[in-house]
Every structure is written in C-alpha cells, then in structure tokens.
Structure 1
C-alpha cells in the first residue's frame, strides 16, 4: 500500500529519545517469553518495528514506561497473529484461551500456565503498579472486552459471512483494543483523568473517533493480507458488498470516511477547553485532562506515521 493511501492528519508526530532503551528491553522481554515471540518469524517481526511504534506514539514518557508500551504493543500483535492459523477458526478453543487470560485480570494465574499467560501476567502486573483502584477496574474491563471479542471473530472466520456495518463496528472496537491503549496513556504518564471529565460527552466522542480512525486505516492496509485467509471483519469487504465495487474503490471509500473522522477529531479537540470550563475544573484538573487529550493526539500521529512505513502490512 503506497503513501497515496495515507490520511492527512494535521498534527505532527514526535519520536521519543528513549527508543534504543525500549528496543533493547523489548528484545529481552521477548527472549523471556519465547512461545509468544515464536508466533512470528524473528526477521519479519523485526521489520514491524514495534519499539519504533512505541517511540512514535508515546514520545513524552520515561524510558521504563516506553519499554512497557513496546511490550504491550508486541503482545497485541503476536497474540492477534496466532489466530491467523487454523486456530482462528475454532471459536470454542479461542474462548478457552481468552477466558484463562481474563482470569489473570482478576488475580488468578491458571494452573499449568502457558508462556503466553505468564507474559500477559507480567504485563498486567507492570501496567497496574501504582494505579488507583478505579483505574484498575476500568483497565480490567477493557482488557476483558478485548479478549472476549476474539471468539466472535473466530466464529466469523469459520462462517465466512461478511457482517453488516453495525456488527463490524461492534466487534472491531473490541479487537482493536484502543480503549486499553488509551488507558495506558494515564499509566505511562503517571496521572488519572477526573471521572467527570473522562465520561464527558466531548471526551467520550473524541476517544471513539480516535479509536476508529486507526481501525479504518488499518483495514485498508491489511486488506491484501486478510482477504486471502478469510478474515471477514474488514470494512473494505463490507463496502465492496454495499457498493458492488472493486477493492480499489472500496479502499478509497474507507479512507475518505476515515479522513472525515480526522476532521471530526480536530473539531472535538477544539471543543475541549469549553467543556473543561463548563465542568469547573481547577487548574490541576484541566492540566491532567489536557495531557490525556494530547496523549491521544500523539498516539494517532505516531501510529499513522508508523503504519505508512512498517513492514507488518507488506505482502511482498
């Protein structure tokens, strides 16, 4: 996929100066969790540049926090990719895998735990360190949403039925794990957003748009890989069916929708100061809420820059 298919995102990306530290720590983490790492060929994984994605999407965090971000991103990629095999067409087996991982969120490391389960337990322990109970409860619910979405995705592969748009969005918003990624903005930055602000309509809408933009863009990039293996939860396929059009036209339609969401994102971002005033936030609370919004913007800018260059979505 060429840069002609890239979105115009009007906010610049930055790159953390701790990239080398995070990359070395991430390699060490993968060495300790070989069964997880072995999901992908080591050379191919290197071309994905996972630590680079962490450095671009979290440019302002400290070195240890950036290493945690890289490990979490690596977990997402490798965990998802195990279902590209025949395993991804066996929903009952996928459910058993995901249920055991969900148990870890609630304090239980299953008997005879696998290397993947131990890798996730390590991530969860590090992610929750020092965070308040309210944040941990939200983070656990969002991880559970992510894990619980995979059996339905496996059922979709097995049936080969392309979902309608509402069904696609419902599942995609779970498997994309963007709420978990946004939760980590608070953990990596060492703050928690005030409850009234976090659930304010403007910030909720901002977060939803920010979560959907990468999913739409990613569907275009990953379509050449997903279509041959029968993945049906891809918006390009849905648009092809809606319009009875070729893939190239469907890709253009999806990107046009994503570009409109970028415009919505910029508008919602500009509405935040008014929302903060209406909530009567004090100076400290406004600063925290703005850091969170800035973190979402940095994530989007960094992800979209990385997506244009990574080897993860190359077919040749």
Structure 2
C-alpha cells in the first residue's frame, strides 16, 4: 500500500508550548486508572504520543486544560481499543458497559464502580467545571451518542457484513466522538457559542466536514490493522465493494474524497463573515464565532499532522 496518504490543508498547524507538562500530567492520570491503561501495552502507548495530539489539537489551551485534553483523548483511544478483542463482538455486554457510562453524564451514577467508570467520571467532572447548563446538556447528549454507537458497531462486527455508505457514515459520526471534541474547543477556550451561531447551517456544515475528514483519513491509516481482525466499519472496505477495486485504489479514492471535503471546508470558512453579518452579531459574538472556527481548524490541522507521525497505526 502506498505511503502517500497526505491531505493538504490551506492553513498551518499550531502547537502548544505546554506539551511536556501535559505529558507528565497524563502519565500520572494513567497511573491512577491502571485498568483503563492496561488495554494497551505501555511501551506501545508511549509511541502514540497522546499528549502531542493534545498540544497540536488545542494549541491555545493552558497547562491544566491541556492535561485535561490529553486525558480525554487517551480515554477515547483506550476505551475504543477494548472492543478490538472478542468483547467487541458481544453487543449485549458492550451495551451494558456503555449504558453505565451514559448514566454518569445524566447524574445517575456519579462516581462509578469500575476503574473505567471512575476515569470517565473524573473526565466528566473536570470537563463540565464552570460550564453553563446549556453546554452541559449538549455535552451530555453528545457523550450519549458516542457511547450508544458502540453496541451497533459490535453487532456489525459480529455479523461481519460490510455496511452501505449511508449506514457507515451514520454510525461513524457517533463512534468518532467529534461533536465532543468540538465541545471541548469551547470548554478549553473558556467561551460558549451562541445558539444562533452554533446551529447556523454554515457552522453545521463546517462541523460536519471537520468531523468527516479525519474519519476518512483514519480509515485509510487503520485499514491494515482493522481488515485482518474483521472490522467492517471502514470506508476503504465499502469503496472496495462499490468499485470492485483493490485496497490501494480504494485508499486513494477515500483520500481523494477527503481532499475535496477540505477544499469545501476552506470555502465555507471564507463565508463566515457574511453569515455573521446576516445574524447581526455584536463584536463579542463575532469574536466567539471566529475563535470557535479557529479552534475547529486547529483540531483538524493538528490531528492530521499527528496521524501521519504517531506510532498508533504502524503495523511493523
């Protein structure tokens, strides 16, 4: 398979100067939640450079907040990876695990009993600290979407049937947790986006593209790992079936689609001032809208750079 898997962005990445502090904090956090961390080999996990991803994705975050970002990203990786085992083919058991975590965001299970539950309860408490009720409600709904998507993914693995593209996108947008990633742009930036801006069609399209682009790229990166173990929710497999083509060609198609989305994304960003003018935003609201889209762009640039460098998706 070709190594030419670079998506070209029209804006540069940035990097937080607090990476080292965040890395130390994240190691301490993993030590406190050893059962969660045990999903991955310690040496291999070190090569994933999770704190580096946080530093690239949230470059404006302060030291403490960057530590929170690293813990959050580490949780996503480690939580998802537990389902790479036989557990990931047992939807009933996956549902039980995910339902209990969903209870935490709704206040029914404030502390949790397992180490995974305690780790997530800690993340939820720190993430919601100081945020208004409207943001917390949205964040809870997005976490519920993320957790509730895993049983369906487990059912797909068990059945072994490659989904159609529409079904794939529907599920992938849940398991990718991008809306939660974007919620953290506000949390780490210390602001909340006005509802009229957040739900404006332009902003919704910007968010959707910024969510789908990394998923497409990630499917290409992770295909050599996922295909041998029978994972069916991967766009490379879907394109292979659609076109009757080999994997290398399918990878090129997926990356080409991602590049088209990047170009569309850049065009939408250029229309942001017009959308803000239509909404008659004041100076403060205008500044928030710009910070929010800047934060999403920083995530996109940072993630794609990290993905090219990380050891997480290496097969040899």
Question: How many residue pairs were aligned?
Answer: 316
- The alpha-carbon deviation at position 109 of structure 1 amounts to 2.3
CA spacing shift, 1:112–1:218, aligned 2, 3 Å:
closer
Residues 226-271 of structure 1 deviation map (CA, whole Å, 9 limit, x = unaligned): 0000110000000000000000000000000000000010001001
- Structure 1 residue aligned with 2:244: 244
CA spacing shift, 1:13–1:112, aligned 2, 3 Å:
closer
- Structure 2 residue aligned with 1:191: 191
- Structure 1 residue aligned with 2:263: 263
- Structure 2 residue aligned with 1:145: 145
- The alpha-carbon deviation at position 10 of structure 1 amounts to 1.4
Structure 1 gap ranges (5+): none
TM-score by length of 2: 0.99
Distance in 1, matches of 2:88 and 2:223, equals: 17
- Structure 2 residue aligned with 1:81: 81
Residues 37-88 of structure 1 deviation map (CA, whole Å, 9 limit, x = unaligned): 0000000000000000000111111000100000000000000000000000
Residues 121-158 of structure 1 deviation map (CA, whole Å, 9 limit, x = unaligned): 00000000000000000000000000000000000000
Residues 12-31 of structure 1 deviation map (CA, whole Å, 9 limit, x = unaligned): 01110000000000000000
- Structure 2 residue aligned with 1:117: 117
Residues 193-235 of structure 1 deviation map (CA, whole Å, 9 limit, x = unaligned): 0010000000000000000000000000000000000110000
**Is contact 2:225–2:313 with CA below 8 Å preserved after alignment?**
yes
Distance in 2, matches of 1:132 and 1:6, equals: 39
- Structure 2 residue aligned with 1:135: 135
Q: Once superposed, which parts of structure 1, at least 4 consecutive aligned residues long, lie more than 4 Å away?
A: none
Secondary structure at the residue paired with 1:5?
A: coil
Work out whether 1:14 is the aligned partner of 2:14: yes
Alignment of 1:47-58 (within 5 A): 47-58=47-58
- Structure 2 residue aligned with 1:39: 39
- The alpha-carbon deviation at position 2 of structure 1 amounts to 6.2
- Structure 2 residue aligned with 1:66: 66
**Is contact 2:104–2:112 with CA below 8 Å preserved after alignment?**
no
- The alpha-carbon deviation at position 111 of structure 1 amounts to 8.3
Work out whether 1:234 is the aligned partner of 2:234: yes
Structure 2 gap ranges (5+): none
**Is contact 2:112–2:121 with CA below 8 Å preserved after alignment?**
no
Distance in 1, matches of 2:216 and 2:279, equals: 32
Secondary structure at the residue paired with 1:4?
A: coil
Work out whether 1:254 is the aligned partner of 2:284: no
- Structure 2 residue aligned with 1:159: 159
Distance in 2, matches of 1:112 and 1:20, equals: 30
TM-score by length of 1: 0.99
**Is contact 2:94–2:151 with CA below 8 Å preserved after alignment?**
yes
**Is contact 1:3–1:308 with CA below 8 Å preserved after alignment?**
no
Alignment of 1:164-175 (within 5 A): 164-175=164-175
Distance in 2, matches of 1:150 and 1:108, equals: 20
Distance in 2, matches of 1:109 and 1:151, equals: 20
CA spacing shift, 1:111–1:27, aligned 2, 3 Å:
closer
Distance in 1, matches of 2:112 and 2:52, equals: 34
- The alpha-carbon deviation at position 4 of structure 1 amounts to 1.4
Distance in 1, matches of 2:2 and 2:20, equals: 28
Over the aligned positions, Cα root-mean-square deviation in angstroms equals: 1.0
- Structure 1 residue aligned with 2:307: 307
- Structure 2 residue aligned with 1:295: 295
Distance in 2, matches of 1:190 and 1:112, equals: 28
Higher mean Cα deviation, 111-120 or 212-221?
Answer: 111-120
Distance in 2, matches of 1:224 and 1:113, equals: 36
Higher mean Cα deviation, 101-110 or 229-238?
Answer: 101-110
